[in-house]
A and B are shown apart, each in its own frame.
Chain A
Amino acid sequence: DAKTTQPPSMDCAEGRAANLPCNHSTISGNEYVYWYRQIHSQGPQYIIHGLKNNETNEMASLIITEDRKSSTLILPHATLRDTAVYYCIVNAGNMLTFGGGTRLMVKP
């Protein structure tokens, strides 16, 4: 299963778009990209997933590059409540493992 690389932390101004990158250069052709977030010490919460095409839902947008080696999660208008750790995982097998994630701090 492919591993992911994310920056450990990012800042974003409230009301601005937050763009969180994820590198998954060893992804195989049929592996999906998933994003979760963890607010404070709660259980992680699913945000969005994708395979090849860009995806959008009520929470976020997911942009996957054409070669599928990287992706970006976009929170279009970040609020203070979006402050959290964001995890990108690429895993189509039984063992669903998480990396260290990106700690996003949304500032007023």
Chain B
Amino acid sequence: NAGVTQTPKFRILKIGQSMTLQCTQDMNHNYMYWYRQDPGMGLKLIYYSVGAGITDKGEVPNGYNVSRSTTEDFPLRLELAAPSQTSVYFCASTNRDPTHRYNSPLHFGNGTRLTVT
């Protein structure tokens, strides 16, 4: 298993450009998450999905969009890039039975380092 794969690893965007950060997992996990991490700070939840076709906002969703058309893929879209979106973006996945309070551990990708200038 490759686990959680994120592409690209690095990207530089100009202000106002758009891009899609790709995330795919091969573990058949139902839950997927997008986090951002600013330098020296903790992780902030952007969006999450509990299954194909279902997405919901996290702590910092403004400026981003997501979709979940398949179990494997959870792309994150930036429509109008701003310098405030310079960050490292992590995708994560887990398997969870919503009838139980236990979440199996999160598996993280290696991140996408985005700079907006």
Contact = CB atoms under 8 A, between A and B. Distances in A.
B53 interface: no
B109 A43 contact: yes
B105 A31 contact: no
Interface string A25-37: 0000011101010
A42 B103 contact: no
Interface residues of A, number: 25
Interface string A91-108: 110111111110000000
B102 A92 contact: yes
Contacts, number: 68
Given A42-B111, A43-B108, A98 B101 contact: no
A49 B111 contact: no
B42 A43 contact: no
B103 A92 contact: yes
A100 B106 contact: no
Interface residues of B, number: 30
A94 B31 contact: yes
Interface string B93-113: 010001001110111111101
A101 B42 CA distance: 7
B48 interface: yes
Interface of B: 4, 31, 33, 35, 41-45, 48, 50, 56, 58-59, 88, 90, 92, 94, 98, 101-103, 105-111, 113
Interface of A: 30-32, 34, 36, 41-46, 49, 51, 85, 87, 91-92, 94-101
29 contacts: A32-B101, A32-B102, A32-B103, A36-B106, A41-B88, A43-B90, A43-B110, A43-B111, A44-B90, A44-B106, A44-B108, A46-B107, A49-B105, A87-B43, A92-B102, A92-B103, A94-B48, A95-B56, A95-B59, A96-B45, A96-B48, A96-B92, A96-B103, A97-B44, A97-B59, A98-B42, A98-B45, A100-B41, A100-B42
